Amino acid sequence: MSTAHGARARARIEVTAAIKDEARRQLAAEGAARLSLRAVARELGMVSSALYRYFPSRDDLLTALIIDAYDSLGESAESAREGARDAAAGPFEQWIAVCEVVRRWALDHPHEYALIYGSPVPGYTAPDVTVPAAARVGLLLIGITRDAHHGPGLARPSLPAGLRPEAERMAADLAPDLPPEVVTALVAAWAQLYGLVGFELFGQFNRVVEDRETFFRHAAEQLARGVGLVPGPV
Protein backbone atom coordinates (compact mmCIF):
# COMPACT_ATOMS: atom_id res chain seq x y z
CA MET A 1 0.00 0.00 0.00
CA SER A 2 1.42 3.42 -0.96
CA THR A 3 1.85 6.12 1.67
CA ALA A 4 -0.76 8.31 -0.05
CA HIS A 5 -3.26 5.45 -0.26
CA GLY A 6 -2.69 4.58 3.39
CA ALA A 7 -3.23 8.20 4.40
CA ARG A 8 -6.51 8.32 2.46
CA ALA A 9 -7.68 5.11 4.07
CA ARG A 10 -6.88 6.45 7.55
CA ALA A 11 -8.63 9.71 6.77
CA ARG A 12 -11.74 7.84 5.61
CA ILE A 13 -11.78 5.80 8.82
CA GLU A 14 -11.46 8.95 10.92
CA VAL A 15 -14.21 10.81 9.04
CA THR A 16 -16.50 7.77 9.19
CA ALA A 17 -15.96 7.57 12.96
CA ALA A 18 -16.68 11.29 13.33
CA ILE A 19 -19.92 10.95 11.36
CA LYS A 20 -21.05 8.05 13.53
CA ASP A 21 -20.15 9.89 16.74
CA GLU A 22 -22.17 12.92 15.69
CA ALA A 23 -25.06 10.68 14.64
CA ARG A 24 -25.03 9.06 18.09
CA ARG A 25 -25.19 12.51 19.68
CA GLN A 26 -28.24 13.22 17.54
CA LEU A 27 -29.79 9.93 18.61
CA ALA A 28 -29.39 10.96 22.24
CA ALA A 29 -30.79 14.46 21.65
CA GLU A 30 -33.48 13.90 19.04
CA GLY A 31 -34.13 10.17 18.69
CA ALA A 32 -33.54 7.89 15.71
CA ALA A 33 -36.64 9.06 13.83
CA ARG A 34 -35.19 12.58 13.52
CA LEU A 35 -31.68 11.56 12.48
CA SER A 36 -30.68 13.79 9.55
CA LEU A 37 -27.66 13.51 7.30
CA ARG A 38 -27.84 17.25 6.63
CA ALA A 39 -27.77 18.00 10.35
CA VAL A 40 -24.82 15.65 10.86
CA ALA A 41 -22.95 17.29 8.00
CA ARG A 42 -23.72 20.76 9.36
CA GLU A 43 -22.43 19.92 12.84
CA LEU A 44 -19.23 18.49 11.35
CA GLY A 45 -18.70 21.45 9.06
CA MET A 46 -19.12 19.30 5.97
CA VAL A 47 -21.22 19.88 2.89
CA SER A 48 -23.96 17.28 2.46
CA SER A 49 -22.52 16.03 -0.81
CA ALA A 50 -19.26 15.13 0.95
CA LEU A 51 -21.07 13.18 3.68
CA TYR A 52 -23.05 11.24 1.07
CA ARG A 53 -19.78 9.74 -0.14
CA TYR A 54 -19.58 7.96 3.21
CA PHE A 55 -23.26 7.21 3.78
CA PRO A 56 -25.48 7.58 0.69
CA SER A 57 -28.67 7.78 2.78
CA ARG A 58 -30.00 8.10 6.29
CA ASP A 59 -30.84 4.39 6.21
CA ASP A 60 -27.22 3.51 5.41
CA LEU A 61 -26.09 5.51 8.43
CA LEU A 62 -28.75 3.94 10.65
CA THR A 63 -27.68 0.48 9.52
CA ALA A 64 -24.06 1.23 10.40
CA LEU A 65 -25.09 2.49 13.85
CA ILE A 66 -27.29 -0.56 14.43
CA ILE A 67 -24.51 -2.98 13.49
CA ASP A 68 -22.06 -1.11 15.73
CA ALA A 69 -24.49 -1.29 18.65
CA TYR A 70 -25.18 -4.99 18.22
CA ASP A 71 -21.47 -5.70 17.89
CA SER A 72 -20.61 -3.67 20.98
CA LEU A 73 -23.26 -5.52 22.98
CA GLY A 74 -22.15 -8.86 21.55
CA GLU A 75 -18.50 -8.23 22.34
CA SER A 76 -19.37 -7.29 25.93
CA ALA A 77 -21.47 -10.43 26.36
CA GLU A 78 -18.81 -12.68 24.84
CA SER A 79 -16.14 -11.17 27.08
CA ALA A 80 -18.35 -11.76 30.12
CA ARG A 81 -18.75 -15.41 29.20
CA GLU A 82 -15.03 -15.86 28.63
CA GLY A 83 -14.32 -14.24 31.97
CA ALA A 84 -16.70 -16.62 33.70
CA ARG A 85 -15.16 -19.61 31.92
CA ASP A 86 -11.66 -18.48 32.88
CA ALA A 87 -12.87 -18.45 36.49
CA ALA A 88 -14.01 -22.07 36.05
CA ALA A 89 -17.69 -21.10 36.26
CA GLY A 90 -20.20 -23.57 34.85
CA PRO A 91 -22.94 -22.90 32.29
CA PHE A 92 -25.43 -21.62 34.86
CA GLU A 93 -22.99 -19.01 36.13
CA GLN A 94 -21.91 -18.12 32.58
CA TRP A 95 -25.56 -17.48 31.70
CA ILE A 96 -25.91 -15.09 34.65
CA ALA A 97 -22.71 -13.28 33.69
CA VAL A 98 -23.98 -12.74 30.14
CA CYS A 99 -27.40 -11.54 31.28
CA GLU A 100 -25.89 -9.11 33.77
CA VAL A 101 -23.56 -7.58 31.20
CA VAL A 102 -26.47 -7.17 28.75
CA ARG A 103 -28.23 -5.14 31.44
CA ARG A 104 -25.11 -3.14 32.25
CA TRP A 105 -24.45 -2.39 28.58
CA ALA A 106 -28.01 -1.16 28.14
CA LEU A 107 -27.79 1.13 31.16
CA ASP A 108 -24.46 2.49 29.91
CA HIS A 109 -25.72 2.91 26.30
CA PRO A 110 -29.43 3.72 26.64
CA HIS A 111 -29.86 5.46 23.29
CA GLU A 112 -28.07 2.73 21.38
CA TYR A 113 -30.13 0.11 23.21
CA ALA A 114 -33.27 2.00 22.26
CA LEU A 115 -32.11 2.03 18.65
CA ILE A 116 -31.82 -1.77 18.47
CA TYR A 117 -34.53 -2.86 20.92
CA GLY A 118 -36.87 0.11 21.18
CA SER A 119 -39.63 1.31 18.89
CA PRO A 120 -39.04 0.77 15.15
CA VAL A 121 -37.76 3.80 13.25
CA PRO A 122 -40.53 5.02 10.91
CA GLY A 123 -39.70 4.31 7.29
CA TYR A 124 -36.70 2.14 8.09
CA THR A 125 -36.40 -1.62 7.65
CA ALA A 126 -33.21 -3.25 8.88
CA PRO A 127 -31.47 -5.13 6.06
CA ASP A 128 -30.16 -8.68 6.32
CA VAL A 129 -26.64 -7.38 6.84
CA THR A 130 -27.62 -6.57 10.45
CA VAL A 131 -28.55 -10.17 11.26
CA PRO A 132 -25.11 -11.60 12.15
CA ALA A 133 -24.44 -8.83 14.67
CA ALA A 134 -27.98 -9.03 16.06
CA ALA A 135 -27.63 -12.77 16.62
CA ARG A 136 -24.48 -12.66 18.75
CA VAL A 137 -26.09 -12.66 22.20
CA GLY A 138 -28.71 -15.22 21.23
CA LEU A 139 -26.08 -17.55 19.80
CA LEU A 140 -24.04 -17.09 22.95
CA LEU A 141 -26.96 -18.22 25.12
CA ILE A 142 -27.50 -21.19 22.81
CA GLY A 143 -23.81 -22.05 23.10
CA ILE A 144 -23.91 -21.95 26.90
CA THR A 145 -26.95 -24.22 26.90
CA ARG A 146 -25.33 -26.54 24.36
CA ASP A 147 -22.26 -26.90 26.57
CA ALA A 148 -24.48 -27.87 29.47
CA HIS A 149 -26.40 -30.36 27.35
CA HIS A 150 -23.23 -32.06 26.17
CA GLY A 151 -21.51 -31.72 29.54
CA PRO A 152 -23.13 -31.73 32.98
CA GLY A 153 -26.59 -32.10 31.49
CA LEU A 154 -29.87 -30.20 31.53
CA ALA A 155 -32.99 -30.50 33.64
CA ARG A 156 -35.30 -30.58 30.65
CA PRO A 157 -38.34 -28.30 30.90
CA SER A 158 -41.80 -29.62 30.19
CA LEU A 159 -43.47 -29.04 26.83
CA PRO A 160 -47.22 -29.11 26.10
CA ALA A 161 -48.11 -31.63 23.41
CA GLY A 162 -49.76 -28.95 21.29
CA LEU A 163 -46.55 -26.92 21.16
CA ARG A 164 -44.29 -29.81 20.09
CA PRO A 165 -44.62 -29.27 16.30
CA GLU A 166 -43.59 -25.63 16.65
CA ALA A 167 -40.86 -26.56 19.13
CA GLU A 168 -39.43 -29.10 16.70
CA ARG A 169 -39.51 -26.53 13.90
CA MET A 170 -37.67 -23.97 16.02
CA ALA A 171 -35.13 -26.54 17.12
CA ALA A 172 -34.45 -27.56 13.51
CA ASP A 173 -33.85 -23.92 12.58
CA LEU A 174 -31.91 -22.73 15.62
CA ALA A 175 -30.17 -25.62 17.36
CA PRO A 176 -30.83 -29.10 15.92
CA ASP A 177 -28.59 -30.73 18.53
CA LEU A 178 -30.71 -29.48 21.44
CA PRO A 179 -34.02 -30.97 22.62
CA PRO A 180 -37.04 -29.08 21.24
CA GLU A 181 -38.34 -28.29 24.72
CA VAL A 182 -35.00 -26.65 25.57
CA VAL A 183 -34.99 -24.55 22.39
CA THR A 184 -38.54 -23.38 23.13
CA ALA A 185 -37.46 -22.31 26.61
CA LEU A 186 -34.40 -20.60 25.14
CA VAL A 187 -36.50 -18.50 22.77
CA ALA A 188 -38.78 -17.48 25.64
CA ALA A 189 -35.80 -16.67 27.89
CA TRP A 190 -34.18 -14.58 25.15
CA ALA A 191 -37.35 -12.50 24.81
CA GLN A 192 -37.79 -12.18 28.57
CA LEU A 193 -34.19 -11.04 29.04
CA TYR A 194 -34.73 -8.05 26.76
CA GLY A 195 -38.13 -7.44 28.29
CA LEU A 196 -36.58 -7.16 31.75
CA VAL A 197 -33.88 -4.82 30.50
CA GLY A 198 -36.35 -2.72 28.52
CA PHE A 199 -38.74 -2.36 31.46
CA GLU A 200 -35.93 -1.03 33.61
CA LEU A 201 -34.43 1.21 30.96
CA PHE A 202 -37.68 2.72 29.73
CA GLY A 203 -39.19 3.36 33.15
CA GLN A 204 -41.81 0.63 33.56
CA PHE A 205 -40.21 -0.46 36.86
CA ASN A 206 -40.51 3.01 38.40
CA ARG A 207 -42.29 2.76 41.77
CA VAL A 208 -42.40 -1.01 41.33
CA VAL A 209 -38.86 -2.38 41.67
CA GLU A 210 -36.36 -0.54 43.87
CA ASP A 211 -33.41 -2.95 44.23
CA ARG A 212 -33.20 -3.57 40.51
CA GLU A 213 -29.79 -5.23 40.45
CA THR A 214 -30.84 -7.92 42.93
CA PHE A 215 -34.19 -8.31 41.22
CA PHE A 216 -32.54 -8.72 37.83
CA ARG A 217 -30.09 -11.33 39.04
CA HIS A 218 -32.92 -13.36 40.53
CA ALA A 219 -34.87 -13.09 37.27
CA ALA A 220 -31.80 -14.13 35.25
CA GLU A 221 -31.37 -17.17 37.50
CA GLN A 222 -34.99 -18.10 36.90
CA LEU A 223 -34.46 -17.83 33.16
CA ALA A 224 -31.42 -20.10 33.43
CA ARG A 225 -33.40 -22.69 35.38
CA GLY A 226 -36.19 -22.39 32.86
CA VAL A 227 -33.97 -23.64 30.04
CA GLY A 228 -32.69 -26.46 32.25
CA LEU A 229 -29.40 -25.04 33.52
CA VAL A 230 -28.42 -26.20 36.99
CA PRO A 231 -26.25 -24.14 39.38
CA GLY A 232 -22.78 -25.49 39.96
CA PRO A 233 -21.36 -26.31 43.38
CA VAL A 234 -20.79 -23.34 45.64
Q: Are 95 and 224 a contacting pair, CB within 8 Å?
A: yes
User: Residue 205 has what pLDDT?
Assistant: 97
User: Residue 2 has what pLDDT?
Assistant: 59
Instruction: Report how far residue 39's alpha carbon sits from residue 36's, in angstroms, rounded to the nearest whole number.
Output: 5
Q: Which residue has the higher pLDDT, 233 or 226?
A: 226
For the cut 90, the answer to whether the pLDDT of residue 11 exceeds it is: no
Q: pLDDT digits over 217-230, tens only? A: 999 999 999 999 99
Which residues lie below 8 Å from residue 149, measured CB to CB, with a gap of 6+?
177, 178, 179, 182, 228
Domains and their CATH numbers in the chain: 1-56 (1.10.10), 58-226 (1.10.357.10)
Mean pLDDT of 177-186: 97
Q: pLDDT digits over 128-159, tens only? A: 999 999 999 999 999 999 999 999 889 999 99
Question: pLDDT-derived band of residue 233, with 50, 70 and 90 as boundaries?
Answer: confident
Question: pLDDT-derived band of residue 6, with 50, 70 and 90 as boundaries?
Answer: confident
Question: pLDDT-derived band of residue 234, with 50, 70 and 90 as boundaries?
Answer: low
User: Residue 9 has what pLDDT?
Assistant: 83
Q: pLDDT digits over 79-90, tens only? A: 999 999 999 999
User: Residue 125 has what pLDDT?
Assistant: 94
User: Residue 12 has what pLDDT?
Assistant: 86
Instruction: Report how far residue 50's alpha carbon sits from residue 172's, in angstroms, rounded to the nearest whole number.
Output: 47
Own/partner pairs for 190-195, CB < 8 Å, 24+ apart? 190/137, 190/138, 190/141, 192/219, 192/223, 193/99, 193/102, 193/220, 193/223, 194/102, 194/117
Average model confidence (pLDDT) across the chain: 94
Instruction: Report how far residue 28's alpha carbon sits from residue 65's, in angstroms, rounded to the nearest whole number.
Output: 13
